[in-house]
Structure 1
């Protein structure tokens, strides 16, 4: 057993076990306790530790990037609900703000490398994380990137970060804490600082409200400047990688009638990390060390 998966949702935890059994993600143990109850000693003997593991997106991303199952890595996608533009935006006062618990375990175990992601609306969260990690002796790099820039047909705009504890050469190469990725989004920046946006970049696309029947006029009214074109009754948006991707048809709903456990499955997929941009971040880090 090389990997530790922490996931307190019973359905997602069982999903993880099935993925492990099929060798689709790194072999390991699934711990259904809340991260609040996990102690540093519980992690002894594990090469990989994946917190808020969901359905194993980070483990799959590591494999896609060529990261061996036996190579040490920690990952954690803290709950985005406190900071998501589609949520209540209670921020640091939200009880689901669980970075302090993840920080506690990182501080005690001092893993060599930590990867994570968060909603692109959470610049203040990322600034806190960077401050905490650098106080612990980590060099941290972060970049905002939407899934569409890594081959997905949806935006899912996120901040991605990597923190390195031991590699002095990487610290030297990344003095400002920034990591470049293979498919540039056009807005590599430090958390908490602003920079000029690419004219074709769509920021915080979660504000669209997928499936609500919005039009190009509504798209423009939200302040987005990416190029949009109509073709054969569909609208397409130009993404930072130069490709055009179709916008969802108006009125689309993920009802999933007749699918067993459809609510749990949709929740698992909705909370999951898209492994494609995650793999790009891991590959960028591997190329930099």
Structure 2
């Protein structure tokens, strides 16, 4: 029997938060495990359709709901701790005892989920992204990474994050063989035996993991989304793009000048396009997903300038410190939802 969701989070405050979200039916029903991930085994997660590690306040599970991802369709997620790769965490990478990707890798290797979606700060790119993708590839996954900022979904802040997708190649190959088998016995085809051997060994064919002629890369892009959605690193949306954007590279001069100086009609000094003030802009984004300040095109060194007024440090909010810590460690669900929509079966 397939159970719906497994949530792993060792912060008691966040575990209570997750249980409240489950009761409110905002995230899939399931079990909250408050143990350290180092104590979790593959047997503990067997039978769950969704597994969310470092679950926090349920951002990935909520994103799955936003994307229309069925609760019973397999999905693993994990925004593994960013402190080893963050400037605030001194960027000690693998030398930091909070580096827990190896534990998540261990569970992926043992349980072999069909799909994994992870998230981290962009400091991971020079300090450990190659290792993460190599670990996924070594387990037979097509891996892909892309930087998507929060402002890409009109959030009122930039918040660059690297998103990592891993799709198990054998799982896709098995699904394709079953689809072919629905129209007849695929053993009747002359190349069926060769394809079966290729899928088992990864030594060749379109799904092979060890093909020296670029087939593996093309297959990885196909399995992790349309090629136009997962461009190369130097292009729009690739991991190098934010730096290129800040330098103004790759843009025609008239467009760059307009982007730096032009303001939308009716915009205020910071790009505010309504009379409700900054708090009104925030409430509108929360309600309708629209942030008027972005329409003004005002930039500073290539960065968009949001209207000030997100009063996270206001006095009088109950549980202010743990709430801030929880929100600071959370993902932006709307970004994850866009990725999951592209991967939705």
TM-score range, shorter chain: 0.7 to 0.9
Matched ranges for 1:132-143 at <5 A: 132-143=135-146
For residues 86-125 of structure 1, the aligned pairs below 5 Å read 86-123=88-125, 124-125=127-128
Aligned partner of 2:322 in structure 1 is 264
CA-to-aligned-CA distance 1:136-169 (integer Å, 9 cap, x gap): 0001121111011022111110111111112247
Bigger share in helix: 2
Change (3 A) 1:145 1:129: same
Match of 1:147 in 2: 150
SS of aligned partner of 2:314 = coil
- Cα contact 1:84–1:121 (8 A) shared by 2: yes
The reply on whether 1:76 has 2:81 as its aligned counterpart is no
Deviation at 1:234, TM superposition (A): 2.5
Match of 2:308 in 1: 249
Aligned counterparts, 1:198-209, within 5 A: 198-199=244-245
Contact in 2 for aligned 1:120/1:144 (Cα 8 Å): yes
2:172 maps to 167
Indicate if the aligned counterparts of 2:271 and 2:296 stay in contact, CA closer than 8 A. no
Report the TM-score when normalising by structure 2. 0.66
In the alignment, which residue of structure 1 is the partner of 2:66?
64
* Bigger relative contact order, structure 1 or 2 (CA pairs below 8 A, ≥6 apart): 1
The corresponding residue for 1:11 is 13
Give the match for residue 221 of structure 1. none
Count, aligned residues: 258
| Inter-partner Cα distance in structure 1 for 2:313 and 2:132 | 37
- DSSP-derived class of the 2:48 partner: coil
Q: CA distance change for structure 1 residues 183 and 40 in 2, over 3 Å: closer, same or farther?
A: closer
Listed as ranges, the matches of 1:37-48 within 5 Å are 37-48=39-50
| Stretch deviating more after TM superposition (128-137 or 180-189) | 180-189
Greater mean alpha carbon deviation, residues 87-96 or residues 106-115: 87-96
C-alpha distance 35-181 of structure 1, shift in aligned 2 (>3 A): farther
In the other structure, the counterpart of 2:301 is none
Segments of structure 1 that go 5 or more residues without pairing to the other structure are 203-225
In structure 1, the residue corresponding to 2:147 is in which secondary structure? strand
**CA distance 1:196–1:39, shift in 2 (3 Å):** closer
Deviation at 1:229, TM superposition (A): 6.6
Q: Which moved more, 1:120-129 or 1:70-79?
A: 120-129
* Cα distance in structure 1, aligned partners of 2:65 and 2:124: 27
Cα offset for 1:186?
Answer: 5.2
Question: Offset of 1:40 from its aligned partner?
Answer: 1.1
Q: 1:266 Cα deviation (Å)? A: 0.8
Aligned match for 2:236, one of 187, 212, 217: 187
- Secondary structure of 1:47's counterpart equals strand
Equivalent-residue separation in structure 2 for 1:5 and 1:248 (angstroms): 35
Larger Rg: 2
Q: In the aligned structure 1, how far is the partner of 2:27 from the partner of 2:247? A: 32
Deviations 1:227-267 (A, max 9, x none): 3678534268xxxx9774543539x7632311111101111
What CA deviation, in whole Å up to 9, does each residue of 1:81-112 have, x standing for no partner?
11013331111111111000000101000000
What is the rounded CA distance, in whole Å, between the counterparts of 2:242 and 2:56 in structure 1? 34
How has the CA–CA distance of structure 1 residues 46 and 155 changed in structure 2, closer, same or farther, with 3 Å as cutoff? same
